Amino acid sequence: MVEVTGPIRVVVVDDDPLVRGMLTMMLDGADGIAVVGEAADGDEAVTAVDRHTPDVVLMDIRMPRVSGITATERLRRRPRPPEIIVLTTFDTDDHVVRALRAGASGFLLKDTPPERISQAVHAVAAGMPILSPSVTRRLMRHVASGAEAYEEARARLGLLTERERDVVVAIGQGRSNAEIARDLLMSVTTVKAHVSHILTKLDLTNRTQIALLAHDGRLV
C-alpha cells in the first residue's frame, strides 16, 4: 500500500492516444485524483514513474516495445513501487494470471464504467486489490485446474505460522485489514505487521499476490 497525502497521483499508460486522453480527462476530474503523467508503452511507463512518482499507474497490456506486464514486473521491483491497475480489452486467463503474478493490484476491462475505474484507483491506493467479475471467474478457473501451482503454493504456505495462514485466508476472501482484525480478534496494527511478514517470507509485493497464492493453495 502506498502512503498517500493529498490527491492520488496517477500515470496513465496506453499506446492509443485517444484512450490516454479519455482516461486522463475522466480521472483528472474525479474527486481526490490527479493525473500527473502519461506514457505510450512500457518503457515510457518506467520513465514516467521515475519522473512523476505516482501513487497508482493505469497500465495497458499490449503495447509496442515493452508490454504492460513487463513494465509491471520492473516497477514492482522498485523500493517504493506504485500500485498498478491493468486496464485492457484482453481478459484471457493467461493475461489475468501473468498480470497478477507480475504484481498488479487490479485488473479491469476498458469497458468498465468510469466511476468504477476511479473507485478502483482509490481502492488500490488504500491497499485493496480490485478485479472485475469476469476476471475473477477466469482466475478461479485457472486455480481449479492448476495442479503444479497447487503443489508450489502449498510448499510456500508451509513457511507461515498458523496465525499468518489465518491472515492469508482472510486476504484471499477479500477482507480488509479492519475486517481481519475484527474476525481474528487482533488490532489493525497487528494485522498490518502480519501482512508485512507474509510479504517478506513469501517474497511477494502486494496483497493481490497473497490472495492468488491462497487460491492456488486452495485455502479459500
* Contact yes or no for 59/85 (Cβ under 8 A): yes
- The residue that leads in pLDDT, 99 or 50, is 50
Would the pLDDT of 48 be above 80? yes
What residue ranges do the domains of the chain occupy? 8-140, 146-214
Calculate what percentage of the chain has a pLDDT beyond 90: 47
* Contact yes or no for 216/152 (Cβ under 8 A): yes
Quick one: DSSP state of residue 77?
T
Q: What is the pLDDT of residue 141?
A: 56
Angstrom distance (rounded) from CA 3 to CA 80: 10
Angle formed by the axes of helices 207-216 and 133-144, to 10°? 40
Angstrom distance (rounded) from CA 115 to CA 120: 9
Quick one: DSSP state of residue 79?
S
CATH architecture of 146-214: Orthogonal Bundle (1.10)
Angstrom distance (rounded) from CA 174 to CA 176: 7
Angstrom distance (rounded) from CA 138 to CA 65: 27
Q: Which long-range contacts (CB under 8 A, 24 or more apart) does 15-22 make?
A: 15/40, 15/41, 15/60, 15/62, 15/63, 15/64, 16/60, 19/60, 19/110
Lowest mean pLDDT among 58-72, 128-142, 146-160, 197-211: 128-142
Task: Tell me the whole-structure pTM to 2 decimals.
Answer: 0.72
3-state secondary structure (DSSP) of residue 56 = strand
The topology (CATH level 3) of 8-140 is Rossmann fold (3.40.50)
Q: What is the pLDDT of residue 60?
A: 92
The model's confidence at residue 121, banded by pLDDT at 50, 70 and 90, is very high
Q: What is the pLDDT of residue 136?
A: 59
The model's confidence at residue 79, banded by pLDDT at 50, 70 and 90, is confident
For residue 83, the cross-strand partners are 56
Domains 8-140 and 146-214 share a fold: no
Q: In Å, what is the CA distance from 193 to each residue of 23, 159, 163, 212?
A: 35, 16, 12, 20
pLDDT per residue as tens digits for the range 80-95: 889 999 888 765 656 7
Would the pLDDT of 67 be above 60? yes
pLDDT per residue as tens digits for the range 177-189: 889 999 999 999 9
Interval 129-155 mean pLDDT? 67
Residue for grid cell 475473477: 136
- The residue that leads in pLDDT, 59 or 2, is 59
Q: What is the pLDDT of residue 78?
A: 85
Would the pLDDT of 52 be above 90? yes
